[in-house]
Amino acid sequence: MNILAQITSFDPVVTTAARVPRHSREEEHDGGPCTFASRLAGLIPLTLQDLAAIDGLIGYARPVERHTMLLDQGCVADHALVILDGFACRHKRRMSGRRQIVSFLLPGDHCDRGAVHAYPLDHAIETLTQCRVAKIPRATYLDLLGQHPRLALALQRAKLVEEAMAREWIASLGMRSSIERMAHLLCELMERLGSIGQASDGHYDLPLTQVDLADALGLSSVHVNRSIQYLRRDGLIALNRRHLQILAPRRLYELAEFEAAYLSHSPLGTGLPTGGPVAPYEPGHRAYS
């Protein structure tokens, strides 16, 4: 069981203040917890005390190399994980080694199953790029929830958003074509990265490989490449050295029938309008690939 092998030494658990290792101010702001604070503040207004508590977690941050198994499938963790920088994923793995990515973890996302519930994990969490990850001991995490109820509420809403994303991914696998799946994912990533200040005017870094995208979308790498090329030829996106630009956001949103309300757990959302309500379901219609 490999649990965040790169993160090996932490201060002993004593008082809440002493649990957080101290580092230089320069290190505290090097990819610091601002993404986590931005993520939670986008779900519920936070107080200065809440933000200070989040800032205190930076002492647990460590760099982690790409393709590191943070939590393996079946393990029981005794800590919470927060992705502060980089891309990671949750995935299910078969005995053959084949994987299905069930969600991408972006800066500001967290996993606290081990800290709150000591149940075996039914999936694995792995870094896809170089990351900065905070590994927060259970006692510290529970203290954070108990002393900052607004943070606890924000984290609860973050879980509701994660559940909503899972439903959208299931809908993509069952009802959307390969091109629509790709378009929907690119819209979702733009909204999620934009909420933490890492996407602007349709521009954001996309460090995922075609294999990563294929394992998330239920497609082959060939179909992923064809879908990207279609979106390029149609003038919807530009992709250069893993930097994506959405050239026609409204058209891309309409193609994917994308509405961003599920990402903020709000009836309003932040996405562009799709031009009207979804047409009623009619038996006999089916997705194409």
CATH entry, 176-289, from 2.60.40.10, 1.10.10.10, 3.40.50.300, 3.90.1150.10: 1.10.10.10
- The model's pLDDT over 207-241, given as tens digits with 9 standing for 90+, comes to 999 999 999 999 999 999 999 999 999 999 999 98
At residue 275, does pLDDT exceed 90? no
Comparing 50 with 269, the larger pLDDT belongs to: 50
Kindly state the average pLDDT of the residues 3-31: 33
Q: Structural domain boundaries of the chain? A: 16-158, 176-289
Q: Is the pLDDT of residue 273 over 60?
A: no
- The yes-or-no verdict on residue 74 having pLDDT over 50 is yes
Mean pLDDT of 65-92: 94
Chain segment 240-272, per-residue pLDDT in tens? 989 999 999 999 999 999 999 999 865 444 344
Domain 16-158 and domain 176-289 have a common topology: no
Q: What integer pLDDT is reported at residue 165 of this predicted model?
A: 97
Does 14 or 43 have the greater pLDDT score? 43
SS3 assignment for the chain = CCCCCCCCCCCCCCCHHHHCCCCCHHHHCCCCCHHHHHHHHCCCCCCHHHHHHHHHHHHHEEEECCCCEEECCCCCCCEEEEEEECCEEEEEECCCCCEEEEEEECCCCEECHHHHCCCCCCCEEEECCCEEEEEEEHHHHHHHHHHCHHHHHHHHHHHHHHHHHHHHHHHHHHHCCHHHHHHHHHHHHHHHHHCCCCCECCEEECCCCHHHHHHHHCCCHHHHHHHHHHHHHCCCEEEECCEEEECCHHHHHHHHCCCCHHHHCCCCCCCCCCCCCCCCCCCCCCCCC
Q: pLDDT at position 120, please?
A: 84
Mean of pLDDT values over 60-87: 94
Average pLDDT score over residue span 38-45: 93
User: Residues 191-210: what's their mean pLDDT?
Assistant: 96
Q: pLDDT grade, residue 121 (50/70/90)? A: confident
Condensed to tens digits (0 to 9), the pLDDT of residues 131-190 reads: 999 999 999 999 999 999 999 999 999 999 999 999 999 999 999 999 999 999 999 999
pLDDT of residue 257: 96
**CATH 3.30.70.520 assigned to 16-158:** no
Q: Tell me the pLDDT band of 20, cut-offs 50, 70 and 90.
A: very low
Work out the pLDDT band at 96, boundaries 50, 70, 90.
confident
- Mean pLDDT for the chain? 83
